[in-house]
Chains A and B, each alone.
Chain A
Amino acid sequence: MAEFMPPSSEQEFHANFAQLKPRMNNTEALYESSRCLFCFDAPCIKACPTGIDIPQFIRQINTGNVTGAALTIYEANYFGNACGKVCPTEVLCEGACVYNLQEVKPIEIGRLQSFATRQVIESHKYLFEPGQANGRKVAIIGAGPAGISCACELRALGYEVDIFEAKSQPSGLTVHGVAPYKITNEEVLAEMEYLQTQFGYRVQYNSPICSRPDLLALEEAYDAIFLGIGLGKTNALLLPGEERENCVGAVEFIEQLRREHHQILVGRKVIVLGGGNTAMDAASESARLGAEDVILAYRRSKEDMGAYDFEYDLAKSVGVKGLFNVAPVEIVGNGRVEGVKFIRTATVDGQVQAVPGSEFVEPCDMVIKATGQAKQTTFLSLILGLQLDSKGRIVADTHTYQTTNPQYFASGDALNGGAEVVNAAAEAKVAARGIHHYLSAR
């Protein structure tokens, strides 16, 4: 018997995917905020990529100025609620809390952050407005954390902003790619609406920019173009049998899960390939969807996994089992997936080597590949003069995030190769200032 029964209703889905960082009530927020020491030159601020003045907003919550707390947060990070819930706070602000050194539970900064921001979102308490129009226009490609953050900052500076989004909803991976137990669709979209209402940028949904003519039109109509395009589909493994039914990419699986909730079908026995945070999410999610067995297969050892320890612990806590030092060689089956043929591996001088003759087949009826997302190099090659580094990342000035084509700026996964929502939010703000600097000087 698996830990979770397959959810058959929205209610059961939400029970299986209960929020890891549930909303605080007023009393809890008072107690938790009371514990903050108000460190000098606080380590939590330095650990936050957006540099939120954390002791300040915690003190504001403590003194009953929740609106002020939300302003402190949003001034530094437009994805205030989203980051409170989806940030790996264990390795960022909360990981830096001095209480850790005293073996005392660190302040629950993420939950306090969401406490403050959700209050202003839900009460429609608006904190910002667009700056005086300066007559300049910026196009933003992608309504993810980078694109939306850049739009907010540019609107505050008086720019006209149009966002072109391929999908039908804003926030990118926040709504499509984050595990449902980290944040709900409703609260993501509520924050997006909260921002758009205040800043008044325009978003054109279902409007992918994918051709040279599309780009030319933008280049002519806009003073600058911001690339917040993120990454592409899951990398192909190039293994025999990869095309079999029920062998899916993790990004695609999670996106479908976020969209369809309990209506998604998961296998009874699922093998997740990969050792990163997305692999942990996909494995946890499979288990919470009622899969009887979930195996996380990784080609190196447990210690070598790229995932945060707490993410692996979370997966283990819902019954996921690890299978280490194995490399997939074939997806076996007959039309549908019936198993994965692995070969055992050994790491010699840092190199993964197959152990000859050690092949075995692990039966399963679903394979989820969490082996990284492809860069959108084909699309990026359509932009004249745009340089990419050897890993396919956009090359840009680190102070302005201006690319090698001066009309283009970039932030987020397409620039950093794949990081957190908070990194995109931080970079996009710098990029917006870069755009402002560039256009003001012209």
Chain B
Amino acid sequence: MPDLSINFAGIKSPNPFWLASAPPTNSGYQVMKAFDAGWGGAVWKTLGVPVVNVSSRYGGVNYRDKRLIGFNNIELISDRPLVDNLREIEEVKKHFPHHAVIASLMVQSREEWHQIVRDVTNAGSDGIELNFGCPHGMCERGMGSAVGQEPDVLRTIVEWVMEVAQIPVIVKLTPNISDITEPARAAREGGADAISLINTIQSIVGVDLDLFAPYPIVDGKGTNGGYCGPAVKPIALNMVKNCAQDPHVQLPISGIGGIENWRDAVEHILLGASSVQICTAAMHFGFGIIREMTAGLEQYMTDKGFHTIYDMVGKALPNVKHWEDLNLKYKVTANIHEDKCIGCQLCYTACEDGAHQAIALREGTRVPEIIEENCVGCNLCSLVCPVENCITMDRTDDGTEHLTWKERTLAGTIPTDFNDERAGGLHHWVPEPTAALGKEKHKTLPGKARQLGHPAPTITDLLRKE
């Protein structure tokens, strides 16, 4: 049985799954319920001077029939008095001494920071998370992401906190910045014990087409919110990787962003996170999702022979390179397995219109055919194919050669002028532009036109002729 427990910068937790600072951690009731369900830790809803919230706070992005692939909120930090929160933190810790309770904080002055850090420490918190990420509302008041976007300010505030902190301090970073490693380095310079990322992304999740207002709508108006949910995972993974690989950061990372199952969590871990935080998935499906996440993680670790989380933290990092270090000699070619093909021809139209015209149709069959000499191995066809393993990308080079852009640059063999003979696509066949005109029109015309012949006159055409 693998050991899921972690010691994250001194914060101990029975497993790496923490609830992120958000509505699910608004109260002692919710945190206790989550711990009861199996969560390892919880970052309390951000404490500070209590706010007043609006009604209508969340907006969603649906994809076809799937709800909430993206989610945003315009809710602020805790609107409950600090004393109530502190009392409940104390109570939770009494019931769950071995679970991690981390207090998320957001205040302004040095005095306020000192005071609140002492308060939450006295309440029994295992750690502190500094909310430098909230991209809506609070940032207008000079807090949240307004701090995260200014490394110097961030460093100063971390220093204030470290002056009094007796428990580990995590700095939560905003992704609303061009280089995430700058605030991450500032956090380290300020003395922080760890970082967590990403906070939400500044967003408008949609516009009401009748009311002409952005979601969520508050009395006919809206504002930008913070975006999260499954759709943000790729952005989060990249930023986690950037911080994990930066030699000047070197801090434990709590990965946040788009995690809703064990796979998402493992991806964060493989890119350097050693704890993960989840919010949207718990808001969507409730605390019960923890069972699938712990079971999946355990199974994966068992299958891979990992005994502890630390056996896998950052395991993918050595394989995340700069583009210039990738092997230009590596070659894959698409291969359509005819026995599996159902003839939807999505690969054909995708390659034809969206890639390199390397798939052909044949008479008498709906199974398309790869034109190997045109295939650049881009993967597009295999990505659009709805049938599992129907299109595989098979290696066609013999694996003996290795040459990177960096090596070619050093060797002086890269294209340097506009019409350089060494252009990568110089000898790739492309059709004549005019070959596009009218191509396969009979296959893309609306149904009525097919029925009545091509070119099918519309009623308007017929009337005009008279």
Contact = CB atoms under 8 A, between A and B. Distances in A.
A109 to B, nearest CB: 12
B342 A102 contact: yes
Contacts of B165: none
A429 B451 contact: yes
B448 A157 contact: no
Interface in B7-48: none
A56 interface: yes
Most buried by B among A75, A132, A440: A75
B248 interface: no
A359 interface: no
B224 to A, nearest CB: 25
Interface residues of A, number: 39
B451 A51 contact: yes
B275 to A, nearest CB: 35
B31 to A, nearest CB: 34
Nearest to A63: B64
Given A37-B386, A41-B345, A98-B344, A157 B447 contact: no
A56 B448 CA distance: 12
Interface string B323-342: 00000000000000000001
B317 to A, nearest CB: 37
Given A38-B346, A131-B459, A436-B462, A31 B447 contact: no
B450 interface: yes
Contact of A40 (B386, B387, B443, B446): B443
Which of A45, A48, A440 has most B Cβ within 10 Å?
Answer: A45
Interface in A142-164: 156-158
Given A40-B348, A48-B447, A31 B65 contact: yes
A53 interface: yes
Contact of B451 (A38, A50, A54, A156): A50
Contacts of A70: none
B65 A34 contact: yes
A168 interface: no
Nearest to B352: A40
A140 interface: no
A43 B450 contact: no
A51 B447 contact: yes
Contacts of B450: 45-46, 51
B463 interface: yes
Given A34-B64, A50-B447, A50-B451, A40 B345 contact: yes
Given A34-B65, A75-B446, 7 more contacts: A37-B386, A39-B344, A39-B345, A40-B349, A43-B366, A53-B448, A75-B447
Going nearest first, the 4 A-B pairs with the smallest beta carbon separation are A51-B451, A53-B447, A40-B345, A41-B443
Interface of B: 64-66, 342-346, 348-349, 366, 386-387, 440, 443-444, 446-448, 450-452, 459, 462-463, 466
8 contacts: A34-B64, A38-B346, A40-B345, A41-B345, A56-B446, A75-B446, A76-B447, A98-B366
